Structure 1
Amino acid sequence: MNGPFYENGWIGEEASLLIALIIGLAFGFFLERAGLGSARKLAAQFYGSDLTVFKMMFTAIITAMIGVYWLSWFGLLNLELVYLTPTYVMPQIIGGLVFGIGFIVGGYCPGTSCVASATGSIDGIVNVVGLLLGILLFGELYPYLETFYNSTPLGQTTMVQYFELPAGLMVFILVMVALGGFWLSEKLEALNASNEGE
C-alpha cells in the first residue's frame, strides 16, 4: 500500500477528514504543551530571549522533510501525487510581510491564536476574530487583487527543482542549516540570559 492514501483511493473523503481532524487536534495539543499558546512566549522570539517557536517549527519541518524523503526513497510514497501549493513570488512575499506584521502586533500566528483561544485567552480570541475578518475582507477585495494575486507564478516548484540539486543533497543541506540554526539559537538565548542577569 503506497501513499498518499487518499489519492490512491485507499481511504475515502470521510476518513481523510477524520484523520485531518485528529492530526489538527494533536498539533494544537502539542503547541499548547510547548507553551505556544502564550503571546509572551511567542513575542520573546523577536527579542531572542526564547526561540522555542523557531526550534519547534524547524524541527517539525525537518522531521516531515526527512520522513517524506525516505518514504519516497523506499517506494512507500508517490511524490507525484502529493499536492504542492503553487508558488507566486511577489504575492507570497507581500503576504509573508503582512503575516509577519500581524504576528508582531497581535503576538500570535493563526495556529497559535486558535490554541490560545481554545484555552480561553481573550487576546487569542481577538486574534481569531481579526483573522476571520481579514479572510472576509480579502474575499471581498479579491476581484480587485486577482491580477496581483496570480502574478509572478513559478508553478508547483520545489527547492530541489529550483536549484537543480539531488533530493538527498538538498535534505542534507537543510538538516545542516537546521542544526546550525539550533546551535545559534541556543547561543543567542544564553547571551540574552547572561545580559539579563547582569
Structure 2
Amino acid sequence: MMSTLATTTFFSEGLLGSQGALVAAAAIGVAFGFFLEKGGFGSSKKLVAVFYMRDFAVLKVMFGAVVTALIGIRVLAAAGAVDLGNWYQMETFLVPQIGAGLLFGMGFVMGGWCPGTAVVGAVSGRWDAIVFLGGAGIGSLIYAGAYPAIEPLTSEGALGVSTLDGVLGVSPGVAALLVIVVALGAFIGSNRLVAWRARRTA
C-alpha cells in the first residue's frame, strides 16, 4: 500500500489541474518562500553577491538542494518506493534553453532577483522586487506576442529527455556521485576563496 501511494503523483494521474494539486502547490510554495526569506534570499544584495564572489550562500543552497533531492530520489527509487517513470521530465532543447539561460543570468545579475526570490522580496515589501516582477510580466507578454514568429527556434537542438547519466554513458549512481563530488568541490573552493579575500582585505 505504501509503495502504491509513493509511486502515484498528480502528474501520473493526470491531476495537475485538480484542487488537490493546487492546494499542494500553494502549501509547498508558501513553505519555500518562508525558508527563502529566513535564509536571507529576500535581499537582492545577498543574491547578487555570488556574482562578485563575496558571498556564496546562493551557490551552497542551490547545490545543497540539488544534492539532497538527488540522493533522496535515488535512494527511494532503489528501494522501490518511487517509480521515476511517473515523474515528469522536461525535454532538452539546446538552442532555446541555452539562450534562455544566458538571458536569465543577465537579468539575475542586473536586476538582483530571480522570479522566485522576487516574489519573496515583493511580499516582504521591497520595491525593487516589485518593479522586477513587473518587468518580468511585461517580458512574458512580449514573448507571448512574439511566439508565433519565434516558435521554430523553440524546438532547435531537440535531444528528447536527456539525463546526465545518459549523456556520460554511466550508471545513475555514478552520475549522482559525480554531482556530489562537484558540489563538495564547490563548497570547499568557495569557502577558501572567501577566506582568501578576507585575508587580503584585513
How far apart, in 2, do the equivalents of 1:7 and 1:107 lie? 33
Structure 1: how far apart are the matches of 2:197 and 2:32?
Answer: 29
Deviation at 1:8, TM superposition (A): 5.2
1:159 aligns with 2:160: no
Q: Secondary structure at the match of 1:32?
A: helix
Unaligned runs of 5+ in 2: none
- Going from structure 1 to structure 2, the CA distance change for 1:73 and 1:107 (only over 3 Å counts) comes to same
Distance change >3 Å, CA 7–CA 106, structure 1 → 2: closer
C-alpha separation in 2, matches of 1:5 and 1:101: 35
Mapped pair 1:115 → 2:120: yes
Q: TM (normalized to structure 2)? A: 0.92
- Runs of at least 4 residues off by over 3 Å: none
Q: 1:153 and 1:110 mapped to 2: Cα distance?
A: 26
Please tell me the residue identity of whatever aligns with 1:23: I
Question: How far apart in 2 are the matches of 1:85 and 1:134?
Answer: 23
**CA RMSD between the two structures:** 1.6
5+ residue gaps in structure 1?
none
Q: TM-score, normalised by structure 1?
A: 0.94
How many pairs were matched up? 197
Alignment of 1:58 with 2:63, yes or no, is yes
CA shift in 2, pair 1:162/1:4, >3 Å: farther
Identity %: 37
Quick one: distance in 2 between partners of 1:146 and 1:68? 34
The within-5 A match list for 1:139-154 is: 139-154=144-159
Q: Partner residue of 1:6?
A: 10
Give me the whole-angstrom Cα distance separating, in 1, the residues matched to 2:87 and 2:68: 17
String of CA shifts for 1:54-108, please: whole Å, max 9, x gaps.
Answer: 0001101111111111111111111111111110001111100000110011011
Give me the whole-angstrom Cα distance separating, in 1, the residues matched to 2:30 and 2:131.
21
Q: Spell out the pairing of 1:1-198 with structure 2 (5 A cutoff).
A: 1=4, 2-7=6-11, 9=13, 13-197=18-202
